[in-house]
Amino acid sequence: MEMLVRRFALCMVVLSGCGDDDGPGPSLGGDAAAQHEDASAPPDDATSPDAASIDPRYEAVLAQLRTDLAAAEVPGASVAIVERGREPFFASLGVRHLDEGGDIGPHTLFRVASLTKLVTVALILSMVDDGMLSLDDSVAELVPSFAATGGFDRSAITVRQILNHTAGLSDISPLICPEASASEWVASRTDLELWAPAGAVWDYSNTGFTLAAAVAENVSGRAFRDLVAERVLGPAGMEDTTFDPTLAAMREHAAGHTLEGSTTVLGIADYRCPALDGSAGLITTAPDYARFLAAVFGDEPTLLTRESVAEITGSAVSQQVVPWERYGLALDITDDPELGTLVLSHDGELPGYRSVFEVLPEEGRILVVLTNGEPLDAYPVGRRAMAALRGEPLAPYPDTTPSADDRARIAGRYVDPTGQLGEVVIETRGTESHARIEGTRFDDALDARAGRWFAGRLIITFAPDEGPAEWLVTRIGIARRAE
């Protein structure tokens, strides 16, 4: 651990010319191309500024990240901060490769996994802005090759529902790597399952974003990567960003590291899944992703119309957990009790990489943290870093201990007609809720944390939020109350 802590040498670059102290400036919605032009060539001596020149709040962010990364033994991280009326700030901690070293810089590429999803949303919304499609269009009409089993109506699924995870679709693991475009992959599959009727429940699904990429390809007649480059990456000034693992491997990049037990080093090109580009394929830098967020959520959005930006949060639905958490289009929306303000955020997880962003739209703050190691729970890392940036400690998290009524409303027998879960019985034993699966040895007490129920590694939510639950929802299947 001591050696790892010593690896956290600090590299800092203030992205000069990107903001204007006299107004909001491009840091929150101005000329994204100008931002990148200035950021792409920082001064040669910018990596070793006088520590006294650093905003103390930024140093507090870095101190918090050093603590979190060292505790998880993560080799390195890249950090970008954008604030209204201030010049954007970049810093790095640690190394690109645990054994070979290498400083992390503003052009160091990381895999960001599900942070990709918001980029896919921006692509779709740019097409909405141009009148090419509507969020309420039927996916089956836009992608006629989309076939699904499960007894529910696939024609009822809308573009909006695949983007906010309410389509009822089964989930593809991003670790399954089909060598095909999204459209080709969708056309080749006749076994995609619908686990629930469209709009009935919220259940995170990578499949929906493969379908979103197929929608973009079918409507435009062009490849997803070309569309994203033209409509999102270019206009946002994301010149370092790519979906091509081979190209990324030829450029400055951070290797991934799995750190449970023995350390495994993963090459950035080891994961090749073009069919899942829309869900988890983005390879980017912290400054590039911060530029993207500023182009979308800035005071003067440059990438989308204000109407489309409003759809990102306006399409929010309950995640069936706690009342202050909702999910928009590829975005967690939290009336955050710890920070005491509205937070827009998402994390990303792939083997060897963890990432998170946080946007505080009411305060004009953006934070991006990309890391090259796991295990690391990115959400609390981002939340603590944002608290350090604001200079205020996190408030205590509310008590979410379930009441007797909470336990009573979820008790019952649930049946999954697709056979993924089988028959699940939730029952109260004394002061505990237990889950057992009929015909198996699975019988486990449910541990409730922040509105979610945990049975071993199985995470369960229940829909609707109030009254007797009708649906038992997991990432591996959905069951419906049978009594």
The domain spans of the chain are: 2-117+226-390, 404-481
344 pLDDT higher than 90 = yes
Q: Given pLDDT bands bounded at 50, 70 and 90, which one contains residue 366?
A: very high
Q: Given pLDDT bands bounded at 50, 70 and 90, which one contains residue 174?
A: low
Sequence-separated (6 or more) residues with CB below 8 Å from residue 367: 61, 79, 80, 81, 357, 358, 359, 382, 385, 386, 389
Measured distance CA(46)–CA(147) in Å, rounded: 54
Give yes or no for a contact between 33 and 237, defined as CB atoms under 8 angstroms apart.
Answer: yes
Which residue has better confidence, 282 or 12?
Answer: 282
Give 2-117+226-390's CATH code, choosing from 3.20.20.140, 3.40.30.10, 3.40.710.10, 1.10.150.120: 3.40.710.10
Residue in the structure block whose two tokens are 């890391």: 371
168 pLDDT higher than 60 = yes
Weakest-pLDDT range from 27-41, 123-137, 178-192, 310-324: 27-41
CATH number, span 404-481: 2.40.128
| Mean of per-residue pLDDT scores for the chain | 87
What is the share, in percent, of the chain residues with pLDDT greater than 70? 87
Give yes or no for a contact between 30 and 300, defined as CB atoms under 8 angstroms apart.
Answer: yes
Q: Quick check: do 2-117+226-390 and 404-481 share a fold?
A: no
439 pLDDT higher than 60 = yes
Structure confidence by residue, pLDDT tens digits, 91-119: 999 999 999 999 999 999 999 999 999 99
pLDDT of residue 481: 97
Measured distance CA(265)–CA(99) in Å, rounded: 9
237 pLDDT higher than 50 = yes
Q: What is the CA 210 to chain-centroid distance, rounded?
A: 15
- pTM of the entire predicted model: 0.90
Measured distance CA(326)–CA(348) in Å, rounded: 18
- For the chain, the farthest-separated pair of C-alpha atoms sits apart, in whole angstroms, at 69
33 pLDDT higher than 50 = no
262 burial level (CB within 10 Å; 0-12, 13-18, 19+): exposed
What is the average pLDDT across 133-156? 92
